[in-house]
Amino acid sequence: MSLGDLQQLTMLAVARLGSEAYGAEIRSELSRVAGRNASVPTIYVTLVRLEEQGLVESREMPAPGGRGGRPRRVFTLTEAGWAELAMSRAAMDRMWEGVEPS
């Protein structure tokens, strides 16, 4: 399987955020760290596809603060997700070997 750019960045944001890996926070992390602006719906479409591939899993968490509202869907990487990220990183590292700016 080959991960696209947004898939890799989204998975890395999930890994970085830990228990706070939900749509709005993932969007903020992508913007803050990677300079990538994506809408929350785009991020959720990506996450659903990653979940269908077995690379992330989700669980519903109660709404924050106990004040009602919508529960949060929090994402975590699966073992397969970690392995896929490692393979993508290794492939990119191999491609960079010997590359020097002209």
For residue 18, the model assigns a pLDDT of 93
| Full pLDDT tens readout for the chain, 102 residues | 688 999 999 999 999 999 899 999 999 999 999 999 999 999 999 999 999 999 999 999 887 776 667 888 999 999 999 999 999 999 999 999 999 988
Domain ranges of the chain: 5-96
Provide the whole-model pTM.
0.88
For residue 1, the model assigns a pLDDT of 67
Nearest alpha-carbon partner for 86 in 8, 7, 5? 8
Fold type of domain 5-96: Arc Repressor Mutant, subunit A (1.10.10)
Instruction: Please state, in angstroms and rounded to a whole number, the distance separating the CA atoms of residues 23 and 42.
Output: 9
Instruction: Please state, in angstroms and rounded to a whole number, the distance separating the CA atoms of residues 22 and 16.
Output: 12
